[in-house]
Structure 1
Amino acid sequence: MECYFSNCVRKPILVCECKSKKTLMCQFHRSNHFEDLPNCKHHINHLQEIQNPAPSKSEGLIKANPLKSSAFPSHKSHRNSSSDHNANFKILNSELEEVKSMIKATKKVLLAQTENAKTEISSYANYLLALLKGIKKKCKKLSMSSKCPFQQALKSKNNSYLSQKQSKITSGALKLKLQIEMINSKFVLNAILADLEKNSIIDLSVQKISQMTTPFDIHNLYGIYPDTKKLFSYNPNTNIVTSCELNLPNNLYGYSLCYADGNLFCYGNCLNKAYQGTAFLINKEGKIKSLRDGIPSIYSGTIYKKGFVYVFGGWSNGKMLANARKFNIKSNKWQILADLPVPGSLYCCEAIKNKILISGSSHSRLFIYDIYSNSYNKCSLKLCQGRKKIICKHYEKVYIIETEGSIYESFAGNIFEWEILFASNVQNRGMLMYKSYNYRSVFFSIDNKVFRFDLKTKSVKQELEV
């Protein structure tokens, strides 16, 4: 079933039922273009209902104009019972779900790249941005209430005073807060709006968008300049590199870096030919939190998965390592895992469901580690020895990019079968630092060069030098 308006990919809802057929429209067109429908009596009556809606607790959709909606009572009425807050949270949840579906639909429209889609996307993107601002304002207004169960839960040191009903409301509020933080970060929205600006579809300042993002954005590319205390960040939306001086105890060399639950996890160092197992987190403000040291090594492969950072292989005291370990960020503890089938360094990893794909420059093999069974499977794919590998996933596809080698593709559901796409022109000199994604490209850095792997053309090109 499709929306009444052609080339619209958003999820439709039933507007009204005529004698001839059922009319379906998406929420966006239902709110803004209802008058464009045929003028039958059913449509006219339904239009009046939309313009003067009756309150309904079961309605899970936003109103015609969400920014002027009176879904929330005045400031004084926030001191009502927790049941009122529960209803308000339900309204917010429904609006957030609507925003999620709209973001998903916008991505589909962008990928379609049709002329009809481009003419419509301008007003739609601005509408979506305004809707987000409206939701944020409502959330702030709601949290000001002294009797808000969400506020009570934050201030309370124990939950023994909460009744069963209040506990249910609190858990819903905490879940809602996570959803709000995710949307406020605008990870997906920034990529969408930047792409619209790039293609001259809307007139929106990219510089303003970049200011909305948090210092550590999962779609940015990060690295630490070797033998320095400087962290650099590359924003693919703005093509701007920023750097900051970190308050590290020593200069870093041969470290491993990965994005872990809103922080950057750094591991390993070599100082004056002495190998160290230094581990620390860099938070959003750039503050350093020292962690328990691990096995002294450099050039290890790191990947974050479900609260743990997995570390594979490395180089220490003139030899390659085969050991594997995982680090629990919450408990600050290391745990030894099963050794790799062969020792190696300069590893690159990618997590797919309960498995981690691992490969390094020191050999030609691809290993698949099972998180639950703590065991390895060998893949029949033969890679080039002595070449660095970048393993990355995008939706249902997985890619392996070799420096001065080939580019391979596989489906995430079948990671044991691979197909060679093209030759890779990425230089083999230097150290792989990090990789990041947006919705249609993969970015990675080798030494001071940033490369972009375009998922549409399956080609790699150098973006800039840091």
Structure 2
Amino acid sequence: MDIIKCFISECILKPQGFCDCLGYPVLFCETHCYNHLQNIKERPHELQDLWHLPYESTRKVIIDEANQLKRSIKDSRKYLISEFNKILHLLVGYKNLSFSILNNLEKKANEFIKAASYIKEVPTYPKVKDYQLLLRLKLIEAKYRARTWRISSDWIKTKKILLSIKKSFELFRINPFKEICHLYTYSDSIFYFYGYSKELKEFNFISKQRKVYNLDLRENIWNNISVCPLPNDRIFCYGNRANNSITGLTFIIEKDKTISMLPEGKASCDSGSILYNNHIYSFGGVLGVSVKFCLNKNTWKSCCQLPKGNYK
């Protein structure tokens, strides 16, 4: 018996309790608890919290299954990277995008997100620090759900697929410096940045035009940057230093492509940023810290949640 899954085979939710009415533990999630009570009416039920089960007898099976899923994810990384780069070359090479490739890759990426998320839900998973990855994923999902897209339906589909793929990369800690570029999507454009490159590149989905912004700063930026377009063709950027991932360089690329430096901060380079009410919001990251930058006062502050409103 698979002791760490709900008795409803299609269910992927973490079991919350069990019942011994059949002589062995029948596990169920909170959603399907009622189903169990309805299915077995001729026996007395005694519902218990899942973790009343003997710990040592369940730990090995739980960890074995988690490791099996983890191996499956690891084996698929090369495939994801290869297919993702095909899509990127199609985008920046002015070629027609193949939705069959995108759809197939989206399906794969979502499968691995589901598997990896399930691993992080297992309470006895040996590497506790990896729980932070699931938190990062959920913050990223919340951020993108809040954003309003103003482009054609085909490009809406394309960008949603790219975001699914991007989330899978972030969840698996694929190093963008070694394997892929760091990618952000905003409005009609994607922004991407390779390794220690001193250039930020922008590709517009609608006009098919490409822009290159020189980032020859006073010191090197570590393997990625966080970007957020501002009104009047300006771009807010944050990048970790090459020798210090705790604080980093903050700057604005002006309309004429000159750079205005801002006070240092500790934003996340993992999940992009949101502009709302003259503040730049950044979520998650290695430290699990959410922060905002006030454009009026040029100051950083901590924040704990996304403000209510429509985000662009």
Structure number with larger C-alpha Rg: 1
Query: Which of the pair has the greater relative contact order for Cα pairs under 8 Å at 6+ separation?
Result: 2
Higher strand share: 1
TM-score (norm 2): 0.35
